[in-house]
C-alpha cells in the first residue's frame, strides 16, 4: 500500500470519528473505575439452623458491611457520622452481583470471603440526596521511602532499618490491622491512593541515596518514581527512643510534589518496636487516604467547559488520550471540533476546579497546559 493511499484511509477514518463525536458527544459512560465500586474481603462467619440458612444471613450482613465500606471509601471521614442507613432490600437494588471465595460450611455454619459490586448510577444519586461530599479520584501509586535514624545515622537501604521492614511486612506481607471488623474491612479495599514500598534493589540504591531522599532531590526522586510507575514519592522519616521503658516514635513525612505539607507526629507505647511501627504506619496511611479525598472532592453544582488542542503521532495515541480523559469522573462530555492527522481541537465539560482537573489528568500521564490563554492536553511522553 502506498503512503498516499494510507493517508487517504487515515483521513477517512478521522472524518468518520469527527462525525461520530459530533453526534454522540462522547458521553462519559466510564466515568469511574469499576474497581472503586467493588468492595472485597468481607469475611463472614455465621451460624443458623442449617448451612443454607447461615449463608442467607451471612450474605445479608456482608452486604450491609460492604455498603458502609463503600461509603467510607468515597466520603471524607469528617462526614462518616452522617452516612445513611438503608434496609437490606434498598441496598440489594444497588448491587450488581457478588462473588464468593474461601467458602466453608458445616451442618449449621457458613464461612466465606465475599466481594460485592455496586452500581455507581445508584450510589451517586444517594450521596447527592443526603448532600454528602465524595471523591471518585484514584491516584497513581505513591512510592514510600522509609528513613530510620539509628545511633545518629540515617538509614534508607542499609540495615538495620526496622522502620522500612515494618512497611514491607504490612504491604508485601499483607499484615493488615488487627482489632475491629470495621478497620479490617476498610483495609482490605483497593486504596484511592495506592502505596508502594520499593524493593531496595541495586538500581534503587544507585538512583536515590538517603541524602537525596532527605533533601527531596527532584531529579533523583523523579527518576525513582518513574522506575515504579509512581506518581510521586513520600519520604517518611522516623526515630525511636526509649525512656523509662516507654517507647516514643517520632515521624515526619513529606511528598516530593508538595501536594500536602510536611506532617510531624509522635507515638508512644506498644509492647514491641514492631507494634509501635505498625501503629504509626496505619495512621500515616489513613491520613494520606483522607488527604487525597479532601483534595479531590468536586463541586458538582458548577459545570465548566474547556476548549483545548492536542497533538499526537497517530490514531492509536489519539484514541488512547480520549480513553484516559473519559475515565476521569469529573469529565462529563467530550466534543471534537476539528481533527487533522497530527492535531485535534476539541472541548469538554467538567466539574470541580481546573487545578483538580490538572491533577486528575496527571494521574493518567496527561499534561494540562495554559500557554498565553490557550489550553492544551498532551501526553506526558
Residues 23, 39 within the same domain: no
For 27-60, the pLDDT digits (tens) are 444 444 678 999 999 999 999 999 999 999 999 9
Mean pLDDT (the chain) is 88
| 124 and 43 housed in the same domain | yes
Span 129-145, average pLDDT: 94
> How distant, in Å, are the alpha carbons of 105, 163, 379 from that of 204?
47, 18, 26
**Domain shared by 287 and 182, yes or no:** yes
Q: What gap in Å lies between CA 207 and CA 310, rounded to an integer?
A: 33
Segment 159-171 mean pLDDT: 94
**In a domain? residue 135:** no
Chain segment 279-292, per-residue pLDDT in tens: 999 999 999 999 99
Same domain? 56 vs 170: no
Which residue from 313, 317, 374 is spatially nearest to 342, judged by alpha carbons? 313
The reported pLDDT for the residue numbered 33 is 60
* Together in a domain, 198 and 271: yes
DSSP string, 262-286: -EEEEEE--SSHHHHHHHHHHHHHH
Number of structural domains (the chain) is 3
Which residues constitute the domain of residue 113? 34-129
Question: What is the per-residue pLDDT for 198?
Answer: 94
The answer on 72 and 163 residing in a single domain is no
Q: How far apart are CA 223 and CA 206, in angstroms?
A: 11
Determine if the peptide bond prior to 160 is cis (ω within 30°). yes
Closest CA to 230 of 253, 204, 198, 208: 198
Residue 136 covered by a domain? no
Domain C-terminal end among 129, 153, 175: 129
Both 239 and 280 in a single domain? Answer: yes
Q: Say what the pTM is.
A: 0.83
The angle, 0 to 180 degrees and rounded to 10, between the axes of the packed helices 3-24 and 315-326 is 20
Residues 303 and 285 in one domain: no
Indicate whether 351 and 276 sit together in one domain. no
Using the predicted structure, report yes or no on whether residue 314 has a pLDDT greater than 60. yes
Q: Are 352 and 298 in contact (CB under 8 A)?
A: yes
**In this structure, are 162 and 262 located in the same domain?**
yes
Same domain, yes or no, for 285 and 172? yes
Backbone angles phi, psi at 153, to 5 degrees: -115, 135
Q: For residues 128-152, give the mean pLDDT.
A: 93
The verdict on 79 and 209 lying in the same domain is: no
pLDDT tens per residue, range 343-369: 999 999 999 889 999 989 998 999 999
Amino acid at each position: 500500500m502506498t503512503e498516499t493511499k494510507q493517508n487517504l484511509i487515515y483521513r477517512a477514518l478521522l472524518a468518520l470519528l469527527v462525525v461520530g463525536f459530533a453526534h454522540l458527544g462522547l458521553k462519559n459512560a466510564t466515568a469511574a473505575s469499576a474497581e472503586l465500586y467493588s468492595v472485597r474481603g468481607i469475611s463472614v462467619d455465621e451460624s443458623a439452623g442449617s448451612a443454607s440458612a447461615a449463608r442467607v444471613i451471612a450474605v445479608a450482613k456482608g452486604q450491609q458491611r460492604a455498603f458502609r465500606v463503600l461509603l467510607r471509601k468515597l466520603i471524607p471521614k469528617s462526614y462518616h457520622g452522617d452516612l445513611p442507613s438503608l434496609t437490606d432490600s434498598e441496598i440489594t437494588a444497588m448491587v450488581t452481583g457478588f462473588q464468593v471465595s474461601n467458602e466453608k460450611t458445616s451442618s449449621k455454619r457458613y464461612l466465606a470471603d465475599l466481594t460485592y459490586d455496586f452500581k455507581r448510577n445508584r450510589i451517586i444519586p444517594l450521596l447527592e440526596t443526603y448532600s454528602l461530599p465524595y471523591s471518585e479520584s484514584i491516584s497513581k501509586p505513591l512510592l514510600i521511602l522509609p528513613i530510620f535514624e539509628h545511633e545518629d545515622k540515617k538509614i534508607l537501604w542499609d540495615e538495620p532499618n526496622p522502620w522500612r521492614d515494618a512497611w514491607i511486612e504490612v504491604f508485601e506481607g499483607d499484615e493488615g490491622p488487627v482489632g475491629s471488623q470495621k478497620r479490617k474491612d476498610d483495609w482490605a479495599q483497593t486504596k484511592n491512593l495506592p502505596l508502594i514500598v520499593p524493593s531496595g534493589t541495586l538500581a534503587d540504591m544507585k538512583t536515590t541515596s538517603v541524602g537525596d531522599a532527605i533533601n527531596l532531590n527532584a531529579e533523583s526522586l523523579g527518576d525513582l518514581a518513574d522506575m515504579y510507575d509512581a506518581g510521586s514519592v513520600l519520604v517518611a522519616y522516623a526515630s525511636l527512643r526509649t525512656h523509662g521503658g516507654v517507647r516514643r516514635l517520632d515521624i515526619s513525612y513529606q511528598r516530593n510534589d508538595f501536594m500536602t505539607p510536611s506532617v510531624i507526629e509522635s507515638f508512644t507505647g506498644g509492647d514491641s518496636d514492631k507494634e509501635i511501627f505498625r501503629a504509626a504506619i496505619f495512621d500515616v496511611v489513613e491520613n494520606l487516604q483522607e488527604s487525597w479525598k479532601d483534595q479531590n472532592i468536586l463541586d458538582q453544582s458548577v459545570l465548566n467547559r474547556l476548549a483545548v488542542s492536542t497533538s499526537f503521532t497517530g490514531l492509536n495515541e489519539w484514541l488512547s488520550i480520549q480513553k484516559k480523559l473519559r475515565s476521569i469522573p469529573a469529565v462529563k462530555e467530550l466534543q471534537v471540533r476539528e481533527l487533522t492527522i497530527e492535531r485535534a481541537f476539541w472541548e469538554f465539560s467538567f466539574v470541580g476546579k481546573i487545578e483538580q482537573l490538572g491533577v486528575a489528568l496527571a494521574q493518567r500521564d496527561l499534561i494540562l497546559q495554559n500557554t498565553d490563554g490557550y489550553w492544551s492536553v498532551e501526553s506526558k511522553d
